[in-house]
Amino acid sequence: MTISLNTPRNTYTATAGQTDFTIGFEFFAVADVKAYKNGTLLTYNASPSTNSQYSLVGTASSSDDAYEFGGGGTLKLGGGGASANDIIVIIRDIAITRTSDFSSTGTLDVKSINTQLDQLTAIVGDLKGQTDRSVKLLDTDTVSATVTLPAKATRQSKILGFDANGNIETTVSSSGLATLSSITSDITTVAGISSDITAVAADATDIGVVAAANTNIGTIASNISNINSVAGVSSLITSDFVSDLNTLATTAIVEDLNILATTDIVNDLNQLATTDFVSDLNAIEGIKANVTTVANNVTGVNSFAERYRVGSSDPTSSLDEGDLFYNSTDNAVKFYNGTSWASITAGLTDIVNDGTPQLGGDLDVNGNSIVSASNGNIAITPNGSGKIILDGLSFPTADGTSGQALTTDGAGNVAFTTIQASELSTQGAVFSNYNAITSSVTTTVASSKNAFLFGPITVSGSATWTVSGSGTLEIL
């Protein structure tokens, strides 16, 4: 097939859900094509499942049907396709390799020769596309300049520029740009008074003279009434006095005094001379080290200012994950979690907020009771082989059998045991039992045991008294 030396690069601004993108250049295999979405390399998959994968449908060349992709083709995004305004870039990038080696004898394979020549022509087109997008000298540039990048150690954190001969240089640090960006308003202010700055610079010498004589000027100002009085008695003005006046009357001194006499300068001097301002200057002198520290870390200060804000409602713009905000309406500090503002809890206001509470020390009820709500039970369940110990008494961990009672061994251990009958050793004590059965009941006599009751015992009404078991019950 014929290969046109077109630009092997197609760029599209996608619409919402768009899946098909035309490939307007020839290629030979799937591996010859690379696709990017918003600068991210996509992956080829014959059956793409997401919009980060794509498949290719080739268009055969009308001049040579041996090549599936000779007439370009279509790139198909997987998933739901592209989002609106996604930038899709499709390029050809053929690996530089020779795929056929022709024999020096015998019949030449014309198809293989055509294929190899077509691929070589396409590779030239790829290289031309790359050089057209690279930094290079114009053909009309008569100066032989060096446009090769310096070594990494030389160019890192530097601004790319050109010297007087047009050669690339990287001598200016880029860190200064961050500082300049943080004081753009100050730069604008200075630019607005550039003419005033020029005028001050031109009078720097005179300003220095006036600054050196500020004490004398202050003295003159504080004695202006006396000076006026002297002016009223001209006979007292001696030649020396006149000489001094002549000295003050020089053009430079008069101009300086005129500058100092303007309303703005006088107002500024009055403000600088106040007790509060002098006190502030003294305070700054005491913390100048801290001021220097802040100046050296101005980037961090600016970063914190961008991270933390205060207002009456949650911000809706310039949101970054980790931002902090104090909401003066809710009286709450919040953080931005990437999708919404979440409140920062100052501490537990109720133990119910802690899903796994633990005591850090003994629990003092402080004269109160432990009471359940809504008639609920109070469950005390030790973990594993642990036991309930109440006031030094260790209770069993399992239930006893029917009829057993809790007894103590006198050493702090409580257990379920069967109470055996014994003699009455207390004077005046008696043994008593029921003498009437008014409802149906069952008396069970344990195996190989003897039991007795004192009669008579009356069974009344329709009640039934059942005696079971293999032991002996005797009614005395």
DSSP assignment of 341-377 equals EEEPP-S-SSGGG-SS---SS----TT-----STT--
188/105 same-domain check: no
How many other β-carbons are positioned within 10 Å of the β-carbon of residue 213? Answer: 14
128/14 same-domain check: yes
Crossing angle for the helix pair 194-202 and 204-212, to the nearest 10 degrees: 70
In a domain, 410, yes or no: no
Cβ distance 342 to 335 under 8 Å?
yes
pLDDT at 65: 47
45/124 same-domain check: yes
Pick left, alpha or beta for residue 335 (phi over 0 → left; psi -120 to 50 → alpha; otherwise beta).
Answer: beta
Q: Choose among 474, 471, 470, 462: nearest CA to 437.
A: 462
- Determine the structural domain holding residue 462 and report its residue range: 436-475
pLDDT at 148: 81
Q: Which two tokens stand for residue 78?
A: 């997987």
pLDDT at 136: 76
In a domain, 145, yes or no: no
Q: Which two tokens stand for residue 381?
A: 């369940």
Torsion of CA 62, 64, 66, 68, to 10 degrees: -40
| Angstrom distance (rounded) from CA 175 to CA 189 | 22
Length of the chain: 476
In a domain, 230, yes or no: yes
In a domain, 440, yes or no: yes
Three-state secondary structure call for residue 407: strand
In a domain, 267, yes or no: yes
Cβ distance 14 to 86 under 8 Å?
yes
Quote the distance between the C-alpha of residue 130 and its chain's center: 38
pLDDT at 66: 46
113/192 same-domain check: no
14/128 same-domain check: yes
| Angstrom distance (rounded) from CA 354 to CA 156 | 51
| Angstrom distance (rounded) from CA 68 to CA 469 | 98
14/92 same-domain check: yes
124/201 same-domain check: no
Please report, in tens digits, the pLDDT of each residue of the chain (476 residues total). 566 656 789 999 999 999 999 998 888 888 999 999 999 999 999 999 999 999 998 876 655 544 556 678 899 999 999 999 999 999 999 888 776 677 777 777 677 777 777 777 777 878 887 777 877 778 788 777 777 888 888 888 888 888 888 888 888 887 877 777 788 888 889 888 988 888 888 888 888 888 888 888 888 888 888 777 766 766 656 777 777 777 877 888 878 878 877 888 878 777 777 888 878 888 888 898 888 888 888 887 777 877 889 999 999 998 999 899 999 998 889 999 999 999 887 665 666 666 678 887 888 888 898 898 889 998 888 988 899 998 889 989 888 888 788 888 888 998 888 776 556 677 887 878 888 999 999 888 888 888 888 889 899 988 898 888 888 888 88
In a domain, 286, yes or no: no
Of 230, 245, 273, the residue at which a domain comes to its end is 273
117/193 same-domain check: no
Return the residue matching tokens 């110990």. 389
Domain count, the chain: 3
In a domain, 158, yes or no: no
For 431, how many CA atoms within 13 A lie in the half-sphere containing its CB?
10
For 244, how many CA atoms within 13 A lie in the half-sphere containing its CB?
4
In a domain, 391, yes or no: no
193/125 same-domain check: no
Q: Which two tokens stand for residue 107?
A: 């019949």
pLDDT at 206: 84
Task: Please work out, in degrees rounded to the nearest 5, the angle formed at the alpha carbon of residue 394 by the alpha carbons of 393 and 398.
Answer: 140
| Angstrom distance (rounded) from CA 401 to CA 398 | 10
Q: Choose among 172, 170, 167: nearest CA to 150.
A: 170
| pTM score | 0.36
The residues that bridge with 336 in the sheet, in sequence order, are: 341
Return the residue matching tokens 């004695």. 223
114/216 same-domain check: no
